Amino acid sequence: MLNGKNVLITGGTGSFGKQMLKTVLERYSPNKLIVFSRDELKQYELAQRYPKDEYPCIRYFLGDVRDQNRLHEAFHGVDYIVHTAALKQVPAAEYNPFEAIKTNVLGAQNVISAAINQNVKKVIALSTDKAANPVNLYGASKLCSDKLFIAGNAMSGEAESRFSVVRYGNVVGSRGSVIPLFLKQRSSGTLTITDERMTRFFITLQQGVDFVLECLEKMNGGELFVPKIPSVKLTDIADVIAPEAKKEIIGIRPGEKLHEVMVPEDETRQTLEFDNYFIIQPNFVWWAKEDYLKQNGGTSCPDGYEYASNNNTRWLSEEEIRGMVNDYCKEHGIE
């Protein structure tokens, strides 16, 4: 799919962007693989890891998705874009709301406009479970972003550009997540738990990258893809990391949910279920649901259905949790 193509990753120096870069280099032979981000230090560090003489296809573009002119320059000649750039820390977004809007909402619109202007063939944007029935500004800003990208297919008109979105849950070991927190706390003998009932969807970084690449290949434009991934109770993670530790219940923080939702009940009528994922379909007059079902298989979700972390049929076992924790420790040199 990506052989001989020009591919650009916004937020290319973030956790997901770096894993996407690594995976594309391992599996494909792109003509150009462009890292677009605003952090010159992280770009320098990536360049040390992937030296130019060994990886001549990589390009490093400094820029910000808030700057539409720079996006127009960066997208020239690009075939595919994976849009990962975002401000995603919930407390930071609550304290600096318009900064989150500038990047997550206005930045999304800039990416769409520049992609259409430069005739980019496919753009796939990363979303989050927090965009479904959002209760915090980060989730609300990503919901706006999702709506913009889906609507981008109507904006593009006769142009080639097509836009889709991937929504998934918490990434194992990502910045600010529970595994590094519990590992840091275990030496104190006390782990802080917001609520003993709390559940979350969990996906590894590589699984997220694999799913995005799969969706990039099969997308028609307009789909919001949701993978079927396992759930986990936070107390189960605590028991694996520090079984003897005391659990201190500190209460749910502002902007936090007890359980996460990826397909809300209100969107069920537009949702198709497949073996390993769901698709929330767009409300376009030209989108033919029956034709899509015929071509791709799948079934319509029943009324009243909701895909949430507490009603999931797939849960991480103790062994699987331990494997994830061990992999994280090995990767980060933690004993």
Which of 85, 39, 31 shows the shortest CA–CA distance to 59? 31
> pLDDT-based confidence at 242, cuts 50/70/90?
very high
Instruction: Give the tens place of pLDDT for each residue, 260-279.
Output: 999 999 999 899 999 999 99
Mean pLDDT of 129-156: 96
Question: Is 130 one of the catalytic residues?
Answer: yes
Mean pLDDT of 166-182: 85
Mean pLDDT of 48-58: 96
* Helix (H) / strand (E) containing 233: strand 231-233
Identify the residue with better confidence: 331 or 81: 81
Question: What's the mean pLDDT when you consider all of the chain?
Answer: 94
Please report the pLDDT score of residue 155 as a whole number: 92
Instruction: Give the tens place of pLDDT for each residue, 188-202.
Output: 999 999 999 999 999
Mean pLDDT of 216-232: 96
| Set 18, 122, 130, 142: catalytic member | 130
Please report the pLDDT score of residue 176 as a whole number: 65
> pLDDT-based confidence at 158, cuts 50/70/90?
confident
What is d(CA 57, CA 306) in angstroms, rounded to the nearest whole number?
Answer: 43
Whether 335 has a pLDDT exceeding 90, the answer reads no
Q: Could you identify the residue written with the tokens 């080639």?
A: 160
Which of 163, 180, 212 shows the shortest CA–CA distance to 24? 212
For every residue of 98-128, DSSP letters joined together read: HHHHIIIIIHHHHHHHHHHHTT-SEEEEE--
Please report the pLDDT score of residue 214 as a whole number: 97
Q: Is 255 left (phi over 0), alpha (psi -120 to 50) or beta?
A: left
Mean pLDDT of 312-332: 92
For every residue of 265-284, DSSP letters joined together read: GGGGGGEEE-SSEEEEPP--
% residues pLDDT > 90 (the chain): 84
Give the pTM. Answer: 0.94
Total residue length of the chain: 335
Q: Which residues contact 284 (CB under 8 A, 6 or more apart)?
A: 153, 154, 222
Please report the pLDDT score of residue 255 as a whole number: 80
Instruction: Give the tens place of pLDDT for each residue, 61-73.
Output: 999 999 999 999 9
Mean pLDDT of 155-183: 88
Please report the pLDDT score of residue 36 as a whole number: 98
Q: What's the one-letter identity of residue 182?
A: F
Do residues 222 and 150 touch, judged by C-beta distance below 8 A?
yes
What is d(CA 280, CA 165) in angstroms, rounded to the nearest whole number?
Answer: 10
Which domains occur in the chain, in start order?
6-169+200-228+250-313 (3.40.50.720)
Instruction: Give the tens place of pLDDT for each residue, 72-113.
Output: 999 999 999 999 999 998 889 999 999 999 999 999 999 999
Whether 173 has a pLDDT exceeding 80, the answer reads no
